[in-house]
Amino acid sequence: MSINKKNTETLWDLNKASFLMVVLPYIGFNWRELYESPYYSLGQAGIVLLVLIAIEALFTQLVKKLGKYEKLLSVLFICFTILFFYGNNIVIPIYQYVTKSLQIYIKEKVLFIIISFFLLLILHYLLAKKNLWKVFNVFLGIYFIVNIFSTRNLNIAAIPPIDSIQNGYKHISESLSSDKNGNENNNEGQKPIVLIVLDEYSSPDELYKIVKDSSVYNFSNTLKNKDWEVRNSSYTYESSTIHSISSLFNFNLSKDSSYWKQNIESIISKKMMKSALIDSLSGKGVAFNNYGIFHIGSTEPLTQLYLYPTSFTEHFLIRTAFFRGKNRTTNFNLKFLFSSYGATLNHNSYILNILQNKIKQNKIVKSFTYVHLFMPHKPLFFGASFPLKNDINFDNYFLFWKFTNNKMEAFLDSITKQDKYRIILTGDHGFRINEHKENFHYTFTAFKGFDSLALKQVESIQDIGLLINAGFK
């Protein structure tokens, strides 16, 4: 009994370095999103907690047995823990300040090493002044409690049930499915619909204001000549992908003011998995092909890119340096340690090849197919035809934007020659990392095979779901 008591006291000794105390603020800062995750379960949360406690216990026992190396191991392990859970929050602001405000170019790897060195010095000082560990740990505990009860985490507006939203726009859906004489539009009603989302695709009109080059309209003019209805400036309520697509798949959630106040991705993910559009199409016998990046309805995407969590464990780790470094190809994130971009880099070519093969084999019958491409969104890469560009600036973005146009023109030709599909080509929002301050609430949309009168009812990107739903009888 005395041994267990001693071990318990050691595990929770605030006068020493503590893995758990370092992790607590991370949990507090993200707890509401973790709780609201569509993958949340008490069992999974319990397992994660047990793993954290086990790491703490192992760390405590290990440093106790290493004798003279105890101080060194404590400093190194706590330093690694801080960088693992908070690396993005520490390095990104410093990197942005140094490069943009001070105009000093420094590699992320070098900056990381410098920050790690100073962090080691600070922790060593705390360890040398043993009584300061208690101050440090108490501060972390207070920070954890403050985050738990902060307005940032609790300021969540309730979103009305999907059914009430759908009913609220019933008149729009009815107008989309009827012509000016009130007759139903049945002539195209059975053709498959393919929705292709080009992530972060800027409006040609917005780009023209910057480059003053009429060639930005070459792609849209080509589509017009092939009987597409083209909008060079299409409005989007949302500036983030998950909000934009979730709203589209739920009959324009953006028109409800409470949705604008929503800032927790896990809640938005729930709305995606309960898509009103997919539920409605399923009731009409329309098959759904998910070639996107989100779990929508009961279907998972073909490629797991970890841009958004697909399990509670991923949700817990998604903001750590490891996950962002392994799977998010921009921002500081230890990417020099985890340099394999894997599926993220190959996503565009992989999805386009699959879709092209499906079409050639005529396997897309009465269906709705959602395609989501990281074009012209980062990473700026498409195999040998467009080598990876790590510098995300306007010039490189514009190059990839023009490459995207050429790639899509060739791809769409292979589809539209058969004239068996209705196709929607759209961005979700414009380019957001832009020193020229273009309006990223404007993007581009083109429609093939839809009634022009029905298209007049589509006032924003988020209305496209209404068009798709009304397109099937």
Q: What is the pLDDT of residues 355-395, one digit of tens each?
A: 988 887 776 778 999 999 999 998 898 989 999 887 888 99
Nearest one of 33, 19, 36 to 150, comparing CA atoms: 33
pLDDT at 432 (0 to 100): 87
Domains and CATH numbers, the chain: 2-154 (no CATH), 164-307+326-470 (3.40.720)
pLDDT at 177 (0 to 100): 54
Q: What's the mean pLDDT in 145-166?
A: 59
Nearest one of 320, 265, 278, 299 to 38, comparing CA atoms: 265
pLDDT at 143 (0 to 100): 86
Determine what percent of the chain is predicted with pLDDT higher than 90. 34
Whether the pTM exceeds 0.75: the reply is yes
pLDDT at 419 (0 to 100): 76
User: CB burial class (10 A; 0-12, 13-18, 19+) of residue 268?
Assistant: buried
Q: Cα–Cα distance between 191 and 423 in angstroms, integer?
A: 10
More confident residue, 8 or 275: 275
Determine what percent of the chain is predicted with pLDDT higher than 70. 79
Looking at mean pLDDT, say which of 2-6, 140-144, 178-182, 350-354 comes out highest: 350-354
pLDDT tier at 255, thresholds 50, 70, 90: confident
Report the range of poorest mean pLDDT among 173-187, 218-232, 268-282, 339-353.
Answer: 173-187
- pLDDT higher than 70, residue 40: yes
Contact predicate 387/381, CB 8 Å = yes
- pLDDT higher than 60, residue 175: no
Report the range of poorest mean pLDDT among 21-30, 70-79, 274-283.
Answer: 70-79
More confident residue, 5 or 316: 316
Contacts of 391 (CB under 8 A, 6+ apart): none
Q: What's the mean pLDDT in 232-250?
A: 93
Report the range of poorest mean pLDDT among 19-23, 135-139, 183-187, 296-300.
Answer: 183-187
pLDDT tier at 335, thresholds 50, 70, 90: very low
pLDDT at 202 (0 to 100): 96
